[in-house]
Structure 1
Amino acid sequence: MTSHSPLIFRSLACRISVWVFLLLVAGGALAAWQYRSLVGALEQETDVLYRLSSQRADQHDAHLTALSAIAVASDDVHQGLFLDVAATITQFYPRIDDVQLVPLDPRLEPVGLGPRTPELVKIVRTAAMASDGSLALLAYPGRADHYILVKRSPNTAQARYGLMLGIDAGKLIEEASPFWSERGVALRLSMPDGGPPLVSRGPFSVDTVRFSRVLASASQPLLLETGMRIGLSDLLPWLPTVLTLLLVSAAYAVVLAAWRQRARARAAVEQARLSALESRLAHASRVNALGEMASGLAHELTQPLTAILAQVQACRRLLGREEADRQDLAPVVDDTIAQAKRASAILERFRNWSRPQLESASVFDLREALGNVQALLAPQAAARKVRLDFDVPASKVEVKADSVEMEQVVFNLVRNALEAVAPEQGRVAVTLKQSASGVTLDVSDNGPGIAPEIRDRLFTPFTTNRPDGTGLGLALSQRLIERAGGEIFLAEAGPGTTFRITLKSSNPSRKLAP
């Protein structure tokens, strides 16, 4: 598992967390909206039922007034007209299922519709005699879902009758919206003085949302209570919930895709900027290295130039002899040409180092890059009397990278090693190995090692333990190696130091002996 795996897992976990959070917010918003809708519907239907029931209750007062006038005006002992009107009222107003006209004189017989018991007659007579002019609202004896209205007739101190309407409380609130027959909806109608409810439908419990209102009737201030039990299935109905979650997920996926696309575009721009900076930094590093190797360049060129000068002077002397054989000049001229080519090669290597590199990665023999580094730093090693060993395989070690960048990385590591070891006692070893798994390059020295306080940030820019160091060499080397698809790390840090570079091989089937 690569070092990027925890970061990938964290990023994935973050995206999943955001997605789950959005789903929870959407579910909560849907539940809140459903709750408000259900409560709003309950409140609206309660208001409709309240107004309808209040209007019906007011009609009872009008019926009592009409019946009272008929009863008082009639001379018929049997009250035939009264009974006819009462029958018509019960026919058109089914909730009124009992009408009784009870004389206050106990010697006279009451008349009316519906069942009539001595207890009922007594209650009506007593209520009428005790009336102060207002209607009496009483429970219907023996009928839990009914109540009675009692009016004295005429409504004066000389009253002769007690007039009663028997009202079915259930029918008083019927013919309303089918809303009241839905699951979880509760409805209750009670007498003003409490007691068992006249009508009770549906569940009334602690978790029931309730509305409570008294009917707007002066004679029948019945208590109307409505309620609704709202469960999770009501707040989150499956179809709207599924559609909402799918819509939120789709929107999140679109936003995430757009964000990732924008992030990739920003990353590409940033990578281009970093690549340009790295190229300039690499070039500046090579130019800086040229300044440090100026003395090495002079030493390298001195030997072939001195040899060329000596050989040309020898040719001149030979040509000045009359008996000189021209065949003797051929070896001298050949040697002069070889020395000139050697000087040209030295200059070409330095010229390549000073030129900005624009070439892309290509397959090349890594041994050639090591040979160039060895040629460049051998004079410095000789000047410090440091042993510089290069151990490379006999066969090609091909990798895909920028050859000049690889030279620069190895050059930085070897030069750092040369500067770290003690003169006349130091040893720097460069070991190249190839196996089926890839290529390994070790740069080791017998110097004092890396200070413990900078090991953890060794590849961080501007980290150095040399007073004159810039702290950019290792950071740049790491970037160049990673760009080639490899890895560089500190393998050993004392005594001595070993930096290891691993690269993918372009000929992994060939396994070379170390």
Structure 2
Amino acid sequence: MGIAQHRALSAELAQETAVLHRLASQRADQHDAHLTALSAIAVASDDPAQRLFLEVATTITRFYPRISAIALVPLQPGGVAAAGTALDPQLTARIRAAAIASGGEIALLPDPGRAGHYVMVKRSPNSDAARHGLMLSIDAARLLDEAGTFWDRPGINLALSLPDGTVLFQRGAIDGTVDGAVDGTGQAKALGSASQPLRLETDRSITPGDLFPPLRSALILMAAAAAGFGALAFLRQRRRAGQALEQARLSALDSRLAHAARVNALGELASGLTHELTQPLTAILAQAQAGRRLLARDDRDGLAPVLDDTVTQARRASAILQRFRSWSRPQAAPVRAFDLRDALRNVAALLAAQAQAQRVALSFDLPADAVMIRADPVEMEQVAFNLLRNALEALRDRAGDGQIRVTLCPEAGNAVLEIRDNGPGIPPELRARLFTPFMTTRPDGTGLGLTLSQRLVERAGGEIALEHGTEGASFRITLPLDPTGEGP
């Protein structure tokens, strides 16, 4: 009984720690989205008092009580910080120094004016031309709240520390050396946030009373003497009921975490859309102001190119919104059986001129027999067009040496389409986020092409993936063959 109880207590701690780790990691990731949105607002605003920034910051602190303070500190000494409350001069100096020393990463510091708080510092804009240091002060204790009553039990120990070892929050003795303890089962792991790898440590002090509860021990002895196997069956049934109840509670908490993940993803989409639209809207504003000055001077010859640039930027903003709308709610199209080779031939005809202009060898290896699938032909053409256009963009600097090979073949009831190029490939640090909305390596890209392609392929019942260990970039698309093997 003692061994089984020890294993159960250790497993319970490991399971609760995993749930708490996920909860804290999800909340920490939300802070990145807040910093991105606030930075975009600060950069786009021409108001010295940053009133819009302060309104958004107040709303964030109201809905996220763990965020105690938000401030925008000018990097030039003597500048006035935009903050809801007065900042400590020592904290202001630390924020400015951390932003100046930043190479683009987010700095983590203990908050000298608030016990148990840590500070996130990001330069704004996040480039060598940064003008401000953007700060969020986070209450570490509230980062771990709402995790359940398990963490309030006696003997359950918990701590959260900065990567440098500074303890932000601690409850109980983490090393498991509490007086009378038989054993401790410690857990330690960094949060799954790239910008906030805080160290989460948990421990459980297991005493003889935990291993051998007096009442349960007496009942087991009495039942074993009186009934034998009957008592054993009763205990097994009781344990199953307890496990079912605990599983139901954990499932409810997991549903809340999934909802938090969806809210976080929505924040990332909104932040990314704000970032994408800031540049064309700023350009439209500048062109409009320049046009007004030219009109005042009656310079009609100079006004025409200004208006042309304004139209170009407006169309670019419209294109961004259109692609965002297509990603978030693609229109349902009629599905029918068709030959996938025909779709690839259409795409080849569309891109042949561009490939020839770049002197890129574009080759198609298609089977002699029809490859019938059931999907929307236009959507499959869009997927192939997106991937081939991305490959041509990657080979823009390799004139005369670029190669793109498209291979289609039936395999185990599926149509397998591979698109490979000999370009620079995808950096390892970006592969995990390749199909994330707004993730792009091109200055003029929107980051929605691959995300939309993934949704269209999955809607057709297939899969799309980046193959590893190959030269350049290689994408593999798997679509189920039409079981009838017939046309529409």
The answer to whether TM tops 0.5 is: no
TM-score normalised by structure 1 residue count: 0.42
Instruction: Point out which structure has higher relative CO (alpha carbons under 8 A, 6+ apart).
Output: 2
Larger radius of gyration: 1
